[in-house]
Amino acid sequence: MEPRLPSSSLPCALTIAGSDSGGGAGIQADLRSFAALGVHGLCAITAVTAQNTRGVSDIEMLPQRIVQAQIKAVLDDFQVRAIKIGMLGTPTLCRTIAGVLKNHRDIPLIVDPVLIATSGASLSRGKLVDAIRQHLIPRADLLTPNVPEAEHLVGHALQSRDDLLDAAHELRRQGARAVLLKGGHVPGAEVVDVLVSDAGTQWFSHPRIDAEGHGTGCTLAAAVAAGIANGRSMEASVAIAIRFVNRALSLAYQPGRGTIAVLDHLAAAADLRSVIR
């Protein structure tokens, strides 16, 4: 009999999302966030994108059979403490993933409703918004839309701080247990985010960073999942995740020829080591 390997002390978190060939967003950003925050990262890839710091040139959605198989393989073997969902692409994949997760309601689920890339390219097909509303929002322990995504989900424009709060409450009425609505698309010298949960309403304000960062939404949702996997509350995980993303964006670098910058997850984690321990 082979000797049994010692169990890892790292908690596990799963990301279900698309692959970014440029390495700035999607699965790549999620796994870097998990590693930087002390979590063993697991993944199920929903799509392969051909993209770089200048834009998205092509997308190939994976068959629902292989997406489903990836998720089942991970959940059959690992003790997953949190799941983060990003790019789904199609209503069919949305329904498929929701069906697999129906038997794992004990695992906290963070849903980042990815619809559009930083470059402006559409990352969804068909009536994906309707599928997210029907199949994922009622299962979400935390929903993390930015303003354009929230506008799609609630069906009207958001232009002010009061609009953000109203939309967060509306999304909770759609079934999400908690909503973090990110206000980076609202003009102003400061970025204001709002978290609405059973614990109440919490606002987060921070100076706007003069950088067009790639993968900020992916990183934020993954960082929240990492915090929960590490045993923190939802509210504490969100607070740390926001600080983590802000620091990673302030340290962002430009590895390609485009203007879009890539977050520095490892440097951000090193700077915030006393906070994230």
Q: Is the pLDDT assigned to residue 219 strictly greater than 80?
A: yes
Q: pLDDT band at 71, cuts 50/70/90?
A: very high
Within a domain: 79: yes
Q: HSE on the CB side for 110, CA within 13 Å?
A: 34
pLDDT (average), residues 193-214: 93
The CATH number for 73's domain is 3.40.1190.20
What is the rounded CA–CA span in Å between residue 265 and residue 37?
9
Within a domain: 107: yes
Mean pLDDT of the chain: 92
Within a domain: 93: yes
What is the rounded CA–CA span in Å between residue 33 and residue 264?
9
Phi–psi pair at 220, nearest 5 degrees: -60, -50
CB of 88 within 8 A of CB of 120? no
Within a domain: 19: yes
What is the rounded CA–CA span in Å between residue 51 and residue 215?
13
Instruction: Kindly report which listed range (5-14, 173-182, 241-250, 251-260) carries the lowest average pLDDT score.
Output: 5-14
Which has more pLDDT, 7 or 112? 112
Within a domain: 160: no
Domain that holds residue 228: 12-143+212-267
pTM to 2 decimals? 0.93
pLDDT (average), residues 24-38: 97
For residues 214, 216, 217 and 222, what is the CA-based torsion angle, rounded to 10 degrees? 120
pLDDT value for 212 = 84
Within a domain: 230: yes
Coil, helix or strand at residue 163: helix
Within a domain: 188: no
What is the rounded CA–CA span in Å between residue 191 and residue 178?
20
Within a domain: 112: yes
Number of domains in the chain: 1
What is the rounded CA–CA span in Å between residue 22 and residue 43?
17
Q: pLDDT band at 119, cuts 50/70/90?
A: low
Which has more pLDDT, 252 or 212? 252
Q: Residues 149-158: pLDDT tens digits?
A: 999 999 999 9
pLDDT value for 277 = 66
